[in-house]
Structure 1
Amino acid sequence: MGASKLFNKAKKAVQFSLKFFHKIVDKNFYRSIKYTSYYKKTKIDDRVIFYESFQGKSMIDSPYAIFKRLINDTNYKDYKHVWALNSRDNLYAQIYKGHKNVEFVKVHSDKYLKYLTAAKYLINNDAFPSYFQKKENQVYINTWHGTLSEAISKDLKEERGQLRNIQRNFLHTDYILNPNKRIANRLVESYGLEGIYAGNVVVEGYPRTDLTLSSNKEEIKEILTKSLNVDFNQKIILYAPTWKEETNNVEDISDKINELHSNIPIEYQLILKVHASLYERLKVNDSLREICIPEWIDTNELLSVVDILICDYSGIFYDFLITNRPIIFYLDNHEVCHSPDESSQDLKELPGPICTEINEVINEIADVKYYMDFYKNRREKMISAFCPYDDGNVTDRNIDIIFKSKHTKNVYPIKNDKKTILMYCGGFLNNGITTSAINLLNNLDYTKFNVVIVEKEKYDPVSTQNLKNLNHHVKKIYRIGSMNLTIREWLLHNFIVRKGLRNEKLHKHIPKQSYRRELLRLFGNVKFDIAIDFSGYVPFWSMLFAFSEFERKNIYQHNDMLSEYNKIINNKYKHRSNMNIIFPLYKYFDKVVSVAKNTRDLNVKNLPKFLPREKAVYVHNCIDANKILRQKNEEEIIINEQRDVASMNDLNDQEKLYKNRIIAPDENNINFVNMGRLSPEKDQKKLILAFSQLAKQHENIRLFIIGEGVLESELKKLSISLGLYDKVIFTGQLSNPFYFINKCDCFVLSSNHEGQPMVLLEAMILNKPIIATDIAGSRSVLRNGYGELVDNSVEGLIEGMDKFLKNKLPRKTFNYELYNIEALNMFYREVCDYNIQNMDNVNKGV
């Protein structure tokens, strides 16, 4: 072995050792290792119940209600109750710390990790950490903690990525408790659980409401008296404003509270229940600190001794409704005037007066004696709609369901009989794979399939926008956190990532169980019928899918994969290390799917060691003709303003003239157009060289290049050096390229390898003359006379463009509707093993 190779090998060994050292001292990594050890080794104790509320901040809400009932029930005297509680500096914890069957643990502590894997019953009103995954035979009950308004529901649908760990937790649950059917339906819809949730929805009310109706008021008053100065000789007014970090101002809220505090009638006493972040800020105010209810005091027990509630349009008033006591709604004027239509209608039905100024609130307090009669009908209607089960026995019914399996008619599953597909699509970058994925997902028949895409945790603006283009039936699950691994599994996984799997002997060391465990962590109880690695370029997802236990699992090949293996960018093989893992994984998939017959045949020929002929199939990409035909007439062209940032650094002043310089196609010129990544395999360099020869003979020809990529700077320099600055126009990435292409006269594809070029199909829909290099992917598309295939060389492109200039290119109308039906049938047959006889409506993306 040469000195250079020895040095590189030693360097890599040192780098890996440093990586391992940094990981092992990382507390999150250590915690994950520890949790995995407990997960694998700890036995489940059928008599342990684990409780958590709001990430261990307090002993409150429905988990607390269930705990209070069980701790005093002799039928459960042999059970151990473990609370995740970060601080025991409160009266609730003091009351129960002496019980021999009650234990408190801090979130993330070793005992927390152990009980999280050992407890038979897990009860939470929010979400366990990202490393949590339910073990087989554990029972996870999520009591949730809020009543979703229409507006909140819409926000959840738009911002679901921010709530991904909550969604992930729901997928692990066996029971989700709900106050009514309306809220249950909204929660299921908002978190994308339709058709995939494998647990039970329970609509028997929130157990916490029993604390409002059935608590020992004298005990609650004693707790409040000890924790802050409350005089129960006066009537109690509770003000519970919602805290909105983005719109609320602490000073404004403080001023309003002080004004209210100073002006309430003498027979009343004001107390505050605010969000934790606001509580910490208000505590610095001496007068307000005196009336702030500590976070650890349960809201529902508090409501049992409250005479009047002042709140905005938030969930607390639903819980207070059942007391039949007065509610005053204090909303800011903007909230009243600019609420969405649904919320505006709800505001008109509120069972109490709506105030927008403090003085109005003061005046309404004086008139509370009239409220019960005046708002009786509204109150009864709202109780019937939102609190139909809040009768003081909610906890008992839920306990019977959970611990005794006494399911009522209000316990039901939502899983249906559709086939469920899981797909990884490659990150939704601006590339052909993304276009193919979006087109497929927008054409599927959702009366027959549930489709879930799983994607990375964080997205950039480009990926976010592409995700928004998906059919609304597609469910999105975001990967949050990291794999739960033992030290040995971590070492093996990283060894494979570095070395690849071309050596067959390494396959016996693949940590298959860790990949299966990761799928369980991500998807909980969800059962998928079909898994599709639609990307085919990312080893992590290929490994997860390859060693899964799905009924069918498939991986796509979107290109001539040997050419991709040998592709060099910036003097480095771009895909080689990834393909050294992915190629050997093909044997673990049921089908390896190319996007065209010629591409399939080429991959079988080039990869005989990895791709058995019997597994290799081809499925054409779907197209979205309606979108293309619509956008070809939409004149607005939006340019990606960031497209030049990376490529402009090494340009001189003259070359920088290209930045953001867009010249629209002039109908007096003859305009050629190319679209694709500015990357070696697309070979726009060859196209520019060919164009330069024709430009010497034809003054009125232009070449438009749509796209961005690593070669942008190099290609611009080439154009300038050839004197083509005003004839070769780089547009960058366009949000609507079809308007631009439609304005041009001829589409030219100069690629060295392609799978099935989407741009050719798009140009055919626009009925554009086409010139393309004669490679496998382009041949599959144009072989029936839809364009001119030319030699893959500068000379071949010159010949093709010259033919167009002489009006000698073939033209043929493309039946895109028939093509799409056939492409979908291929997908259903080859990928899903599913034959659909009547395809009349499939193209509509039902």
Structure 2
Amino acid sequence: MLMLKKMFTRLRNDSKGIRKINKNTLAGLRYTKYYKRLPLNDKAVLLESQQGRSFNGNMYYLLRELITNPDYSEFDIYYVVNGQNAKNVKTHFYNKGYKNVTVVTIMSKHYYKLLASCKYLFTDTAFLSYFIKKEGQIYLNTWHGTPLKYLGKKSKSDSYAIGNVMKNFCFADYLLYPNKFTMEHIVEDYMLQNLSKAKIIFAGYPRNTAFLNTHTRDTVRKYYEMGNKQILAYLPTWRNNGSRYNSRIHYIYTAYYLLELDNLLTDKQIVYVNLHPIARDMIDYKMFRHIRKMPDDFETYEFLTATDCLITDYSSVMFDYALSNRKIILFTYDKEQYITDRGMYLDIDELPFPIVYNVCDLAKEINRPKEYDDEKFLKEFCCYDSLDVCKKICDTVIMGKSDLLETEEMQNNGKKNVIIYSGNLAKNGITTSLLNLGANLDMSERNYYITYTTSHIKRNLDNYKSVVDLFNYFPLMGKINLGPVKKLVYLLFLRRGFSASAIAKLLDTELRMEIRRMFGGAAFSHAIQFNGYEVRKILLFAKFDCDTTIFVHSDMREEIKTRNNQRKDVLKYAYGVYDNVAIVSSGIAHSVLSFNSNANVKVVENLIDYEKIEKKSLLPVTFDDNTVSTISLKKLNGILNGKSKVFVTVGRFSYEKGHKRLIDAFERVREKNGDVYLILIGGHGILYEEIKEYIIMKGYEDHVFLIRSMSNPYAVIKRCDYLVLSSFYEGFGLVLAEGDICGIPVISTDIDGPRGFLKEHGGHIVENSTQGIYRGMLDLLDGKVPVMNVDYKKYNADALSKFYKLF
């Protein structure tokens, strides 16, 4: 009866959560319903520009082709906009006479239905994270410009968060590029080789046809009665630095520059300004005499045909506007800062266009004729443009014609792909072992990709950067698509209301869909849940349609007892269904088998980057900017370089590391030998403050020191005399090897993980107690513990061989 009451309490509490979730993530829930129920409409095309924020650009020109070409008269054409733009877009289409197109508001019920049922999907960015391409849907992604600033993995601001764009590129059947330069950088920096199966199309951007249509310029100039005035357009790029406040500051500067320029223009000159949609209303144009907001009676590129000069900075519009053969001026007042913040594929100084850095020079350049030669530029970046490109694109994608445009298959090296879930890349032994693995893998054998949950990685970007220097990667974005009932059941599972085996059976289809949603249908031959934790990811990786491996880095029975960060039902299920259960030391095999006796256990030791450890151990002892310590750097170096004996231990500040009993043992050691010190180094852990207070309570703050967050602990270890592992349990105890590599004697408590390694290499094992640690520390002081001097080159070769045998 009590169990039933608890179940109903959980159900009531989670029902409240579901109502809240429905308001915030209704998109995924509704889309899922239509995704499962609705058949494909073979005569329907959905076009979406920048997730509805704009109706301009490539999608607009493809739309115009579809609604004016009789070949597509029987098709239903839908154009996606956001709620703010809907009325204006409908008015624009009405004024243009575009009758056979339906405007759809993004995130509406109608939109979810269409995204799930239209056979043809066109976009210039990426559909939102809940999107899953259906079997039979045909997806064209045109992107939205030749890149000048870094994208993808080279981006300096959001390289860790590119997962949704990657998965969209992987879902796409066609990727359109206006030149080889764009193709090479997008394919390379979104790591599409070997993942995407899309056909590459080389074709001029649909929007560029505006510059090739000689009648458009006359039409626009006549409409706005421009006469013989010099018409200029100013289109600065969006400063997306992650801060809306900084963006507002930038547009305050923009308004100031425009005021300066306004005073230098003549009555025969007009500058039309087009800012990013987010900033479009930040400037009041009533303060200017010669500067106006770009109107929306015409599509942006249609209006640009009427101008005599383009002023921009780092925007891709320069690559398109060059087709007009009119002058381009680059107003790059913040060039050095922008390049530092964003990075660029091209040296902007080598572009043919004049560059100015202040308003006075800008005004002078406006009054000069075009005096540069851009022929080479046009040949490299505008070589595929043609007036009939929209027809050719639609006929290729919709009609299936294969000989209209230059195409190319996506690069594929023929090697198998391996996906590895890393966890949140915290400063711990699991991240270290992943880095060591990456440093030793033969990348010529397979394509290895790291994956992680994007929202969890922000706190550990330093480790992220180290990992992605070694691996390609594929970030995970968004949440699992579930209907209301199954969402509730899933939440109950997370609250331990359902067992892992039950939920895995109930949500089998949804979990497999989730893999497709996350990775865009990319194929993998092996999926590795490397961190071995996180209920959701343990469950998910078990559902990959390929060989699977889960790693075990610790004694999970003890983890459940002491930290409660695992679940018996999840491990029982996982250890039974994963093809391999890879343990990092033979000593924890019985722990794994206690959860599931049928587990296919394989010993795969952690690799050790001994050369890096040796090299870093020789560097000076330094603190990082975020290092927290109970001892100053000067005093620490004084102790390390003195004659006193120094013990050190390294491990997160948590219960299982046995820090308090180590301090107790040290207290007894110091009673016999007062000239000793103890240093505790940790990356993170909830007990730092508690251990600090414990040291103060003992009155040992002058002899026991804490150091938290230190990127190079090896320099300290090297200068210490002894290393002690005082843990209650460990998966392996990597710090023992690190101490040995640094050339100092090490001891460990007699626990499962380290036991095998120490016995094999003649290490020193002590009783798993405070008394045992005390005696071991005395043995160290008495010179009874030699350095092991393990052959780590051979050790790594053996460990790597075992890793390869997983495949």
TM beyond 0.5: yes
| Equivalent position of 1:448 in the other structure | 445
Q: Which amino acid aligns with 1:562?
A: R
CA distance in 1, matches of 2:504, 2:730: 34
Matched-pair contact (CA < 8 Å) for 1:451–1:473: no
* Deviation, structure 1 residue 32: 2.0
Query: Is 1:466 equivalent to 2:466 in the alignment?
Result: no
* Deviation, structure 1 residue 560: 1.5
Alignment deviations for residues 60-103 of structure 1 (CA, whole Å, 9 cap, x no partner): 2111111212222122211111001232324532246762x311
Alignment deviations for residues 760-804 of structure 1 (CA, whole Å, 9 cap, x no partner): 121122122111111121112111234201111122222222222
Alignment of 1:273-672 (within 5 A): 273-283=274-284, 285-287=286-288, 291-294=292-295, 297-332=298-333, 334-335=335-336, 346-368=347-369, 371=370, 374-376=371-373, 379-403=374-398, 404-406=400-402, 408-459=405-456, 462-499=459-496, 506=502, 509-549=505-545, 551-568=546-563, 574-576=564-566, 578-604=567-593, 606-607=594-595, 610-613=596-599, 615-638=600-623, 641=626, 663-664=636-637, 665-666=639-640, 667-672=642-647
| Equivalent position of 1:651 in the other structure | none
Give the fraction of aligned pairs with identical amino acids, expressed as a percent.
Answer: 29
Q: Which amino acid aligns with 2:92?
A: Y
Matched-pair contact (CA < 8 Å) for 2:232–2:308: yes
* Deviation, structure 1 residue 186: 0.8
CA distance in 2, matches of 1:290, 1:503: 64
Q: Are residues 13 and 457 of structure 1, via their aligned partners in 2, closer, same or farther at CA, if it must alter by over 3 Å?
A: same
CA distance in 1, matches of 2:35, 2:376: 48
SS of 2:442's equivalent in the other structure is: coil
Alignment deviations for residues 235-268 of structure 1 (CA, whole Å, 9 cap, x no partner): 4222323343647643442343344345445544
CA distance in 1, matches of 2:693, 2:679: 15
What TM-score do you get using the length of structure 1 for normalisation?
0.87
| Equivalent position of 2:801 in the other structure | 825
Matched-pair contact (CA < 8 Å) for 2:588–2:752: yes
Matched-pair contact (CA < 8 Å) for 1:790–1:796: yes
* Deviation, structure 1 residue 590: 0.5
What TM-score do you get using the length of structure 2 for normalisation?
0.91
* Deviation, structure 1 residue 434: 1.3
CA distance in 2, matches of 1:65, 1:338: 32
Q: Are residues 117 and 288 of structure 1, via their aligned partners in 2, closer, same or farther at CA, if it must alter by over 3 Å?
A: farther
Alignment deviations for residues 373-425 of structure 1 (CA, whole Å, 9 cap, x no partner): x423xx11000111111132332332233122415543321233122111112
| Equivalent position of 2:243 in the other structure | none
| Equivalent position of 1:250 in the other structure | 251
Q: Which amino acid aligns with 1:484?
A: N
Matched-pair contact (CA < 8 Å) for 1:671–1:703: yes
Query: Is 1:60 equivalent to 2:45 in the alignment?
Result: no
Q: Are residues 296 and 480 of structure 1, via their aligned partners in 2, closer, same or farther at CA, if it must alter by over 3 Å?
A: farther
Q: Are residues 461 and 749 of structure 1, via their aligned partners in 2, closer, same or farther at CA, if it must alter by over 3 Å?
A: same
Matched-pair contact (CA < 8 Å) for 2:424–2:457: no
Q: Are residues 673 and 317 of structure 1, via their aligned partners in 2, closer, same or farther at CA, if it must alter by over 3 Å?
A: same
| Equivalent position of 1:44 in the other structure | 40
Matched-pair contact (CA < 8 Å) for 1:442–1:471: no
Q: Structure 2 stretches of 5 or more lacking a match?
A: 241-245
* Deviation, structure 1 residue 428: 0.8
Candidates 62, 66, 71, aligned match of 1:70: 66
Alignment deviations for residues 651-706 of structure 1 (CA, whole Å, 9 cap, x no partner): xxxxxx78999734433111111111222221122222222212111111221111
Deviates more, 1:413-422 or 1:519-528: 413-422
CA distance in 2, matches of 1:52, 1:416: 33
CA distance in 2, matches of 1:160, 1:717: 40
Query: Is 1:125 equivalent to 2:124 in the alignment?
Result: yes
Q: Are residues 810 and 239 of structure 1, via their aligned partners in 2, closer, same or farther at CA, if it must alter by over 3 Å?
A: closer
SS of 1:706's equivalent in the other structure is: strand
Matched-pair contact (CA < 8 Å) for 1:147–1:183: yes
Q: Are residues 640 and 430 of structure 1, via their aligned partners in 2, closer, same or farther at CA, if it must alter by over 3 Å?
A: farther
Alignment deviations for residues 328-356 of structure 1 (CA, whole Å, 9 cap, x no partner): 33332755997899969744443333233
| Equivalent position of 1:799 in the other structure | 775
* Deviation, structure 1 residue 276: 2.3
Alignment deviations for residues 295-340 of structure 1 (CA, whole Å, 9 cap, x no partner): 6742322222222222224211211111212223333275599789
CA distance in 2, matches of 1:192, 1:59: 29
Matched-pair contact (CA < 8 Å) for 2:273–2:291: no
SS of 2:447's equivalent in the other structure is: strand
Q: Are residues 753 and 513 of structure 1, via their aligned partners in 2, closer, same or farther at CA, if it must alter by over 3 Å?
A: same
* Deviation, structure 1 residue 180: 0.8
Alignment size in residue pairs: 792
Alignment deviations for residues 250-299 of structure 1 (CA, whole Å, 9 cap, x no partner): 34423433443454455444322232234312245354797211367423
Q: Are residues 814 and 215 of structure 1, via their aligned partners in 2, closer, same or farther at CA, if it must alter by over 3 Å?
A: farther
CA distance in 2, matches of 1:144, 1:200: 14
Matched-pair contact (CA < 8 Å) for 2:649–2:723: yes
Q: Are residues 219 and 130 of structure 1, via their aligned partners in 2, closer, same or farther at CA, if it must alter by over 3 Å?
A: farther
CA distance in 1, matches of 2:735, 2:340: 44
Deviates more, 1:675-684 or 1:31-40: 675-684
| Equivalent position of 2:196 in the other structure | 197
Q: Which amino acid aligns with 1:558?
A: H
Q: Are residues 68 and 617 of structure 1, via their aligned partners in 2, closer, same or farther at CA, if it must alter by over 3 Å?
A: same
* Deviation, structure 1 residue 588: 1.7
Q: Are residues 57 and 342 of structure 1, via their aligned partners in 2, closer, same or farther at CA, if it must alter by over 3 Å?
A: closer
Q: Are residues 501 and 600 of structure 1, via their aligned partners in 2, closer, same or farther at CA, if it must alter by over 3 Å?
A: farther
CA distance in 2, matches of 1:96, 1:78: 20
Alignment of 1:129-148 (within 5 A): 129-148=128-147
Q: CA RMSD in A?
A: 3.0
Query: Is 1:711 equivalent to 2:690 in the alignment?
Result: no
Matched-pair contact (CA < 8 Å) for 1:57–1:296: no
Deviates more, 1:86-95 or 1:494-503: 494-503
CA distance in 2, matches of 1:778, 1:60: 63
Q: Are residues 243 and 282 of structure 1, via their aligned partners in 2, closer, same or farther at CA, if it must alter by over 3 Å?
A: same
Q: Which amino acid aligns with 2:565?
A: H
